[in-house]
Amino acid sequence: MTEIILHEPLDMHLHLRDGDMLRTVAPLSARSFSGALIMPNLVPPITDGEMLRAYRRRILDAAGEECFEPYMTLFFKPEYDFDFLASLAEEVTAIKLYPAGITTNSEGGVSGFDVETLRPALEAMSELGIPLCIHGETGGFVLDREREFVPIYEELAVAFPELSIVMEHITDAASLEALERHPNLYATITLHHLLITLDDVAGGMLQPHLFCKPIAKRPEDREALLHAALSAHPKVMFGSDSAPHPRHAKEAPGCAAGVFTAPIALPALAELFARHGKLENLQHFISLNAREIYQIDPPAKKVRLVDTPMQVPEKYGEVVPLFAGRKIGWSIADVEC
């Protein structure tokens, strides 16, 4: 296959930031994706309806005339009650839970995972059909953080069997194994975790633009993720975790965590799936699975990709993308709404 048409491609984990950064990066996702699940970890985080609606308007303004639906999320707080969540159920696609201080702008996250403390909010979400997305890492040794969090995923899955729980940006084979044990667990996988291991980040000269959280793991973990994505596993879906930071924040002693992939995600995925002879399964990974898991109907969009090389820019505004200055083997030929 030398080309593919993707229908309603979706990015189910996207950071758009705000202000000038939002205006730089939102059009890049809105051009090629039909919709995206927007992360709420702004400063301050999105925690009520007024903030959520105002942020959605800013995203749509930044996206311009593109046919693009921002699927909005709230920043999880244990004090959310049924009445509050019911009032926003038509506007909120999911709620994102961050362990406190575990990643960018997560200081206001959850500091403990006692089931009874979380029960009122999670039972309300279960009843209302609002999925819970979790950045699953502990505060332990960096390579073990996701693996150590798996028992928490499983405890929540058992305690709230009607709650759809999305393990975000999984990087560890242990997370995939948990996926098979619980019918209400799902997962997103990023482009960069399908491509890199920790060796690419720090095996030679440090590569700050590949530094992310969760950190890239071992080759065997990458291979497990790749197998799940390529085989159209029905419980995994694409979530870029595309996380823009200005160049000076990445190339710095206190390097910010995040890989910026939004502009090249679809061509790079097409190249990856084609290289493995699985291009026919990309539609499931990029759209069909997410539509089923989240029960969403995104705006109609067709993206035609061809095996013509694309030259990746050195930067977009102040942000350096994955594969900056290099060629990748596929490109977007045209987009039709």
| Residues annotated as part of the active site | 241
Q: Residue 64: which residues within 8 A CB-CB, separation 6 or more?
A: 27, 30
With beta carbons less than 8 A apart as the criterion, state whether 188 and 238 touch: yes
**133: Cα within 13 Å, side-chain hemisphere:** 29
Four-residue CA torsion sign, 298, 258, 194, 267: positive
Tokens representing residue 249 in the block: 């924040």
> Residue 214: is the preceding peptide bond cis (ω within 30°)?
yes
Side chain identity at 60, as an amino acid letter? L
Tokens representing residue 222 in the block: 């990458």
- Strand stretches in the chain, DSSP E: 3-7, 10-14, 35-38, 69-71, 73-75, 94-97, 132-134, 165-167, 185-189, 236-238, 302-306, 310-311, 327-328, 331-336
Count CB neighbours of 281 within 10 A.
17
**Angle formed by the axes of helices 219-230 and 173-181, nearest 10°:** 40
Number of residues in the chain: 337
SS3 percent helix, strand, coil of the chain, rounded to 5, is 40, 20, 45
Tokens representing residue 36 in the block: 């995206």
Count CB neighbours of 319 within 10 A.
25
Tokens representing residue 239 in the block: 């979530």
